[in-house]
Structure formats: structure tokens, C-alpha cells
């Protein structure tokens, strides 16, 4: 079930500790907006509509059974709605943070032998699946050519890369291809994709797996210079399967939906706009991804600010500048760069001065520092001579972003020569 697909399901709902009190209701999902549950009745066996409305409370977990026989777990549910004095029964609406479709659980910290499959629109472009094979043959009889496509239909996908992280988790890139057609076999579609799989040999929780997925979101966002979000998240539970002959097991997928998802990015994915692709770092991908996840220098706030700065906005503001300057401040602290703000900024610029793009940017430290102090600390404009605004501040922001990208890449082990090569091979608007 894709995060971009809205749905509405009827079903019965109950509290985990009161399974006999089932209430009819409708579960709705609007991508980028909300997960909502509207009940016709009360989960607390209260028949009076007014009393039920007044007694409504937050529910950590609500269980359900849908019309299609699927089980549902709703997590962190908050009541809302209006009271109808003329109604003889309560109608209570909940807004939910997470929705798990497939099984009943007691919470996000439930432990199990779980693995998670995460699909991103950008990942197939960043790490090409390479599953389709195209063959051209001369058709001499008809004076033309025969074009044939083939691919391996591998159960569970083909492993492109596999990395064991320092904390025992395993990151895999999987690739697969599929063929779909209409009932008349007139229209056939062949597709291929790359997806991420996260697992562990130990018992893990949903929260732990999701935490690793969010970290990879940010890595892929940095690598593609886009705000990356999953288009589909599936869990597999070692205890949730169907067994066939000879001990073969088919593990059922469990869909995970979050109300935090922003909604589908309508901008076309173009790999030429990426900072770098998988092939460019393939030989050292394991080293890089382990460094990203271990984050020994606590660069998470710096990386997070960089990704936030990639969010597309209709209007530029001084906050777009400040979020990147704060990232530079954070890098200085983590790199133990001493001195006042002018010295710190000069030191960072000097560190990456060998990189041609940074050299061409020729950042004016006085303008950087005065603008930072003015917008961050509301200092009087008269006390600062080099404050920028408008287009000039926007131009400085682009330069600072490139500097922050250098900081993040350096922390991952790239030297200036490698960073310079990455910048030269990228056609991203953030670089050029």
C-alpha cells in the first residue's frame, strides 16, 4: 500500500484491553494530511452521547478489523469532533499518527524478528537496478528487427549491495523487475526498481527499524540534493507467514503509514541533478554508510539542517540563510575550531579553499558574520556595516550551502580532491 494512495475502509474497532466492545467506524487516509478514524459509538461502552463525548481521551493503541479482513493497529490516537445534543449515540473522531495494516501490535516498541522494506522514488535512479536485458536481433524474413526484453524473476529481489553496520543492523539494496498486462495482453508494462531492506539478527522494534530508515532518508537526501521520503514502507514479521509444502514459507507484508509524510513530490527525478550517484562511491560505499550511521562526531544536527535547506519553498526568507549558518557553527564546534565567529568562519572557508567551486564563491566573511548576527540576534542594523538582504542574501545562502555540503562530505571521509571531483560532476542547481 503506497503512501501516495488515499483510502477509506469500514471496519470494527476496539481497545486492546476490551476486545469484546467492538464499535463500527471508518478509517480514512489522505496523503500528506491525516490518518483519521470516525467511530459510531464509544470504545468505553458508554451509551449516552454527551457522557461519551465528555469522557473521550487519547488512546495509545486502537485495534481494528477491516472489511477486507485485514487487521489494523492504530498508534497514538487523539480524539476530536463536535457534540451533537440531538443524537442518541456518540460519534467520536480520532486523528492517528501511525497506521499498521496486517497485524495487531501493542505499540511501536514491540520486539520481534522484523525486517523492513522501504521504497523511494529516487533510489532506483541513484542506484540503478539493472535487471532488464535488451536484445536486438535482425529479422531478415521481414526486413526488420526483433527486440526482446528479459529479466530474472528472483523471489525477494536480487541483492546489489549489503553492508553490516556497527550496531549489528544490516543494510541491503535489493533490485527486482516485473511484468504487468491487461486482460487482452495488448498493453504490457515492464518495470524495474531498487529498494532498501533493513534487518537485524537480533530482536528489534518498529521504532529501531524506523530510526534507521530515517537516517537513510537523510543520506539519500544529501546524495540527491532532494528532500527524500519513502513512497512505501513494508514490514515482515518472522511469525506472520503462510506455509506451503516442503516447509516453504510465504511471509505476508505489513504496511506502515505515517501521518508525518509530506505528500508526493511532483518534481521529476533527474539523476544529473544529484550530488553523486551510487556508482561514484560504489568502491567505498560500505565505509561511507557505516560512517553515516555511526555518526561518531555527532553531525546529525548539521546534516539535518542541510536537508531542511533543500525543502522547496515559494518565498526565500532569512531563516533559509540562518539554518545553514547554524550548521556551519555546529561543524565548527564538532571540529573543535576555536576563536570568535570571524576566526571560525575563516578557518572553515580556508579548509576547503582548494575546492574550485568554494574558491570561486569567494565568501565575504564580514558579510557572512554581520548578516548572521543581525538576523539571529536582532542586533541594530546601524551597528553592523555588512548586512545583506534580498537577492544578495539569497546568493550568500547558496554559497553557504555549498560550504556545508563540503563539511558533511569531509566528515564522511572525502578529501578536498574527492569533493572537488564530486562538485565538478554534479549539475545540481545547488552546486552550479
Cell numbers standing for residue 421: 571531483
Q: Which of helix, strand or coil describes residue 53?
A: helix
What pLDDT was estimated at residue 146?
74
What pLDDT was estimated at residue 88?
64
Q: What's the whole-number mean pLDDT along residues 238-262?
A: 86
More confident residue, 186 or 373: 373
Q: What's the whole-number mean pLDDT along residues 169-188?
A: 87
DSSP 339: S
The 10s digit of each residue's pLDDT in 371-410 is 999 998 887 777 768 899 999 999 999 999 999 999 999 9
What pLDDT was estimated at residue 321?
96
CA atoms of 238 and 240, how far apart (whole Å):
6
What pLDDT was estimated at residue 148?
75
What pLDDT was estimated at residue 370?
93
What pLDDT was estimated at residue 135?
77
CA atoms of 106 and 154, how far apart (whole Å):
34
The 10s digit of each residue's pLDDT in 78-91 is 987 555 555 666 78
pLDDT at 343 over 90: yes
DSSP 269: P
Q: What is the dihedral of CA 234, 239, 242, 244, to 10 degrees?
A: 130
The 10s digit of each residue's pLDDT in 18-66 is 999 999 999 999 988 899 999 988 887 665 555 555 566 789 999 999 9
Cell numbers standing for residue 20: 469484546
Cell numbers standing for residue 349: 572557508
CA atoms of 209 and 288, how far apart (whole Å):
20
**Positive or negative CA dihedral for 326, 331, 332, 334?**
positive
Is the separation of the CB atoms in 331 and 407 below 8 Å?
Answer: yes
Q: What's the whole-number mean pLDDT along residues 316-330?
A: 95
**Percentage of residues of the chain with pLDDT beyond 70:** 94
CA atoms of 254 and 350, how far apart (whole Å):
50
CA atoms of 1 and 133, how far apart (whole Å):
28
Amino acid at each position: 500500500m503506497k503512501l501516495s494512495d488515499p483510502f477509506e475502509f469500514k471496519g470494527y474497532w476496539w481497545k486492546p484491553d476490551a476486545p469484546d466492545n467492538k464499535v463500527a467506524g471508518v478509517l480514512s487516509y489522505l496523503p500528506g494530511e491525516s490518518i483519521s478514524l470516525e467511530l459510531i459509538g464509544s470504545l468505553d461502552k458508554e451509551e449516552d452521547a454527551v457522557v461519551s463525548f465528555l469522557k473521550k481521551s487519547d488512546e495509545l493503541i486502537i485495534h481494528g478489523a477491516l472489511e477486507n479482513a485485514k487487521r489494523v493497529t492504530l498508534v497514538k490516537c487523539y480524539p476530536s469532533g463536535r457534540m451533537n445534543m440531538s443524537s442518541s449515540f456518540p460519534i467520536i473522531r480520532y486523528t492517528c499518527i501511525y497506521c499498521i495494516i496486517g497485524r495487531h501490535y501493542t505499540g511501536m516498541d514491540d520486539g520481534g524478528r522484523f525486517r523492513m522494506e522501504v521504497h523511494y522514488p529516487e533510489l532506483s535512479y541513484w542506484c540503478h537496478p539493472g535487471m532488464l536485458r535488451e536484445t536486438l536481433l535482425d529479422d531478415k524474413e521481414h526486413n526488420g528487427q526483433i527486440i526482446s526484453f528479459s529479466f530474472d524473476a528472483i523471489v525477494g529481489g536480487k541483492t546489489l549491495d549489503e553492508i553490516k553496520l556497527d550496531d549489528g543492523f544490516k543494510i541491503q539494496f535489493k533490485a527486482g523487475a516485473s511484468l504487468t498486462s491487461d486482460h487482452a495482453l495488448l498493453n504490457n508494462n515492464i518495470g524495474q526498481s531498487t529498494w532498501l531492506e533493513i534487518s537485524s539478527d537480533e530482536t528489534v522494534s518498529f521504532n529501531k527499524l524506523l530510526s534507521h530508515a530515517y537516517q537513510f532518508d537523510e543520506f539519500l537526501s544529501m546524495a540527491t540534493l532532494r528532500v527524500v521520503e519513502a513512497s512505501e514502507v513494508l514490514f515482515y514479521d518472522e511469525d506472520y507467514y503462510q506455509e506451503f509444502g516442503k516447509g516453504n514459507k510465504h511471509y505476508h507484508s505489513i504496511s506502515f503509514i505515517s501521518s508525518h509524510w509530506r505528500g508526493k513530490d511532483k518534481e521529476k527525478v533527474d539523476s544529473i541533478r544529484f550530488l553523486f550517484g551510487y556508482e561514484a562511491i560504489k568502491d567505498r560505499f560500505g565505509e561511507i554508510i557505516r560512517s553515516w550511521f555511526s555518526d561518531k562526531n555527532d553531525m546529525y544536527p548539521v546534516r539535518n539542517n542541510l536537508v531542511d535547506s533543500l525543502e522547496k519553498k515559494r518565498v526565500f526568507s532569512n531563516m533559509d540563510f540562518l539554518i545553514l549558518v547554524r550548521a556551519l557553527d555546529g561543524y565548527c564546534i564538532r571540529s573543535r575550531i576555536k576563536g570568535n565567529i570571524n576566526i571560525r568562519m575563516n578557518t572553515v572557508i580556508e579548509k576547503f579553499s582548494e575546492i574550485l567551486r568554494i574558491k570561486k564563491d569567494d565568501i565575504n566573511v564580514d558579510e557572512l558574520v554581520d548578516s548572521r548576527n543581525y538576523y539571529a540576534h536582532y542586533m541594530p542594523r546601524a551597528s553592523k556595516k555588512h548586512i545583506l538582504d534580498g537577492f544578495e542574501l539569497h546568493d550568500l545562502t547558496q554559497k553557504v550551502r555549498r560550504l556545508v555540503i563540503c563539511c558533511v562530505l569531509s566528515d564522511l571521509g572525502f578529501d578536498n580532491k574527492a569533493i572537488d571531483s564530486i562538485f565538478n560532476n554534479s549539475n545540481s542547481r545547488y552546486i552550479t
